[in-house]
């Protein structure tokens, strides 16, 4: 049996995304959140488009800088993926994972936190000495 490729799992084809009612609801909720609160802070608005992961069933926004924004409640937030181990989550999720992260992922996430002026949230979690 042939393994799945990225093209089998991920699509930006709006016709594919809109085939099921659950995905259509997610698109509408994302548009409402974008209209109400805008894009997440530091999310670049260059060629923003919808993406869909067929494995997870999640619809989200992506851009040309490989940033991802997803609904967290009724607000769009950055959804991060660490560069070394690929740990995924919203900022608060990754704060909880910080101590267990590989050193390279800790350094990356510390830079993310500094960029958002939220590095103080890592004080109790820090293993890395910056």
pLDDT tens by residue, 25-53: 999 999 999 999 999 999 999 999 999 99
Whole-angstrom distance, CA of residue 16 vs CA of residue 61: 15
**pLDDT for residue 3 is more than 70:** no
CA 102 to chain centre: 19
- Distances in whole angstroms, Cα of residue 123 to Cα of each of 2, 44, 66, 118, 128: 46, 28, 28, 10, 10
Give 105 or 2, the one with higher predicted confidence: 105
Cβ atoms of 115 and 123 closer than 8 Å = no
Enter the pTM of the model.
0.85
Domain ranges for the chain, please list them.
1-78, 90-130
Residue-wise pLDDT tens digits, 73-87: 999 999 999 999 999
Q: For residue 5, what pLDDT band results from cuts at 50, 70 and 90?
A: low
Place of tokens 């093209």: 7
């Amino acid at each position: 049996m042939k393994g799945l490729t990225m093209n089998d799992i991920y699509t930006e084809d709006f016709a594919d995304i809109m085939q099921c009612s659950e995905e259509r609801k997610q698109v509408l909720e994302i548009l409402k959140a974008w209209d109400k609160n805008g894009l997440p802070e530091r999310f670049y608005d260059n060629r923003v488009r919808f993406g869909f992961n067929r494995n997870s069933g999640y619809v989200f926004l992506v851009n040309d800088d490989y940033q991802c924004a997803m609904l967290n409640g009724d607000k769009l937030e950055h959804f991060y993926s660490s560069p070394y181990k690929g740990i995924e989550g919203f900022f608060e999720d990754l704060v909880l994972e910080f101590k267990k992260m590989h050193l390279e992922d800790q350094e990356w996430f510390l830079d993310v936190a500094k960029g958002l002026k939220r590095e103080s949230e890592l004080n109790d979690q820090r293993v890395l000495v910056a």
